[in-house]
Every structure is written in C-alpha cells, then in structure tokens.
Amino acid sequence: MATAPRANELRHLDPAVIGRIGSLELRARTIVEGFLIGLHRSPYQGFSVEFSEYRQYMPGDDTSLIDWKLYARTDRHYVKKFEEETNLDCHLLLDVSGSMGYGSAGVTKQEYGTYLAASIAYLMNRQRDAVGLLAFDEQVVRHVPASARPGHLRRVLLTLDSLASGRGSDVSKPLNRLAEALSRRGLVVLISDLLDEPEHVVRGLRHLRFRGADVIVFQLLDRAELTFPFERPARFRDLETDDEVAAVPPLVRAHYLRELRTLLALYRRELRLAGIDYCLVDTSQPLDLALLAYLSARSRRH
C-alpha cells in the first residue's frame, strides 16, 4: 500500500529550505522533483506528471484506449489524451504589492509566491504547455506572453527572479486586462494575498470565467496573519500606505480573527459559485499541498 511522503522527503518543499538554494531555476527543479518523489510514494501518484499525456477514463470512452500497463501500476483506468486535450496556455498572475513583502518566519509571501509560480511554470514546461507571466501591484509591472518555445521557461524564471516589491494593490486591474486580451481558452493561476476590495477581486475573476478561462486562485497568507499571535502592545504598519495603528493584541485578537474568517468565507463562497478553484495557503507550510491543488484542478478541467 502506498504511504504518504515522509518528513525528510518534504524538506525539499519547505520554503525556508528552498530560499537557501542558489538560482530560481534550481529551486523550481528541486521543488518539482521533490514533489514528484512524494507523489510516487503517496495515494496521489495518479496525479504525477508522468501521466501528463493521459487522463482518467470516463464513461463513453472507447475501452480499447485504456492503458492496461498503467492500470496494473495504479489500479486506475487511464486513456491516452488526444492532441487537442494536451495543449494549454497557462497565465501566471503574481501579486508583488507591498503587503506581499510581509513574512514573520523568514519567507515573505512574495518569495513563497515566486517559488510556487516557478514550480508551476516548470511543471507546465514538462507537459509541453505554454506558460506566461503577469506581475502586478496597482499596475501591471511585468508581462511575459505565454509560449512553449525552447528557452521560454528560462525567460519566465529570470523575470520572476528580478521582481521587486511594489506598493499599492489593485488585483482587479490585471484580471480585467488579461480577460480582454485572451484569444483562446486557457488556464489562469492567480497568486496573491487578496488583501484588496473583495468585490472588485471577485468581479475580475468572474470576468475571466466569462471569457472562457479556467481559473485557480491561491490566497497566500502568513501564519501570523492567520493566527495573530502577538502579545505586547505595538504599532502595526500598513506596508502599502505606511499608515500605522496602535493596538493591544489580546484585546483585538478576537475581532481581527472574526473579520478574517468573514473575508475568507466570502472568497471561498463566491469563487465556488463562479466555478473557480480556490486554495488558501499558509506560507509556513511546504509547497506540496499547493502543487497538489494545482494538479487536482488541472485534472478536473477534462
């Protein structure tokens, strides 16, 4: 029986460990290869990129297309994909606004988002799909159009590695810009803390869905943002506006956590109703759950 990945295998996916590796290209390869090792030793091995040219059998498929060798290895029925099922444009949208620069445990949300975007780009390249990048704060700051040409992955990774933190945030602007520019159906992966006006964010994501895109949203939040563990009176500074507010954490913790739960529930509910995959990510955790969520959403596309 397959077992879950061991702790020493998941160390390759620990963001704090990844941050000590040299180039972003090497980090992406380390993350993806560590992730695939974990998949092969877990109940989720059917999601492995090894099966990128296959999809699960569905009622109505020709049974002669079933790969019985894969069935013997996985106890699942897979059929070979047709060419039109394998080509995909993936657009990675990465938030680099000021709030993404926060990190309470050595890794900022932007660094985690960069590792996640690089890993997905690496996976897309392995699957011979086109990948592009759009980085934004309150404006679109960098745009690399989707391509599957040789050498394009390196261009995406070099762009990711050169991104600086911005200031204000306007998540809806790149969503609407990309929606208007889409020429064919594809996959859009938004990586952001979503600390913006939720109505504007949801409206922009619905615009993408209306244009025919499949959408996956990763909301990245730091562990301290999720738990508000602070004890001593302090001044809290907005990383985008520099505004400060004094607070006694034990007195405001319950209110803060209640407001946070309301915000997360809103995103979860509204995005589900719009047919959008939503994944809340604690940036202190290894990247395997985020990558598994990506592959799960990708598999549902068919």
DSSP line for 266-283: HHHHHHHHTT-EEEEEET
Could you tell me if residue 22 is inside a domain?
no
Could you tell me if residue 2 is inside a domain?
no
Q: Is the pLDDT of residue 1 over 60?
A: no
**In sequence order, what are the beta bridge partners of 54?**
80
**Both tokens of residue 14?**
């620990």
| Enclosing H/E stretch for 178 | helix 172-181
How many angstroms from the chain centroid is the CA of residue 274? 18
Cα torsion through 166, 169, 173, 177, rounded to 10: 30
pLDDT recorded at residue 290: 82
**Both tokens of residue 23?**
């180039």
Could you tell me if residue 10 is inside a domain?
no
Q: How many CB atoms lie within 10 A of CB 298?
A: 23
Provide Rg for the chain, Cα atoms. 20
> Do 74 and 106 have their domain in common?
no
pLDDT band at 124 (very low <50, low <70, confident <90, very high): confident
> Do 244 and 197 have their domain in common?
yes
| Last residue of one domain, picked from the residues 83, 99, 129 | 83
Q: Is the pLDDT of residue 293 over 70?
A: yes
Contacts of 184 (CB under 8 A, 6+ apart): 89, 212
> Do 216 and 268 have their domain in common?
yes
CA distance 36 to 44: 10
- Pairing assessment for the beta strands 234-237 and 244-247 based on DSSP bridges: antiparallel
> Do 78 and 94 have their domain in common?
no
Could you tell me if residue 9 is inside a domain?
no
| Last residue of one domain, picked from the residues 83, 104, 137 | 83
> Do 61 and 144 have their domain in common?
no
SS3 83: helix
Percent of the chain past pLDDT 90, that is, above it, reads 48
Nearest to 111 by CA among 216, 196, 20: 20
CA distance 62 to 102: 52
> Do 124 and 273 have their domain in common?
yes
**Amino acid letter, residue 79:** V
Could you tell me if residue 191 is inside a domain?
yes
> Do 223 and 75 have their domain in common?
no
> Do 56 and 122 have their domain in common?
no
Highest mean pLDDT, choosing among 34-38, 40-44, 146-150, 220-224: 220-224
Percent of the chain past pLDDT 70, that is, above it, reads 75
Q: How many CB atoms lie within 10 A of CB 64?
A: 6
> Do 143 and 77 have their domain in common?
no
pLDDT band at 82 (very low <50, low <70, confident <90, very high): very low
- E strands, the chain, in order: 54-56, 78-80, 89-95, 130-136, 140-147, 187-192, 214-221, 234-237, 244-247, 277-282
State how many domains the chain has: 2
> Do 71 and 163 have their domain in common?
no
**In sequence order, what are the beta bridge partners of 220?**
281
Q: Can you give the CATH number for the domain in which 224 is found?
A: 3.40.50.410
> Do 229 and 165 have their domain in common?
yes
**Both tokens of residue 292?**
């598994």
**Amino acid letter, residue 269:** R
> Do 120 and 265 have their domain in common?
yes
The average confidence (pLDDT) of the chain is: 82
Could you tell me if residue 104 is inside a domain?
yes
pLDDT band at 297 (very low <50, low <70, confident <90, very high): confident
For 59, the domain range is: 49-83
CA distance 239 to 272: 30
Nearest to 84 by CA among 129, 120, 45, 51: 129
- Pairing assessment for the beta strands 54-56 and 78-80 based on DSSP bridges: antiparallel
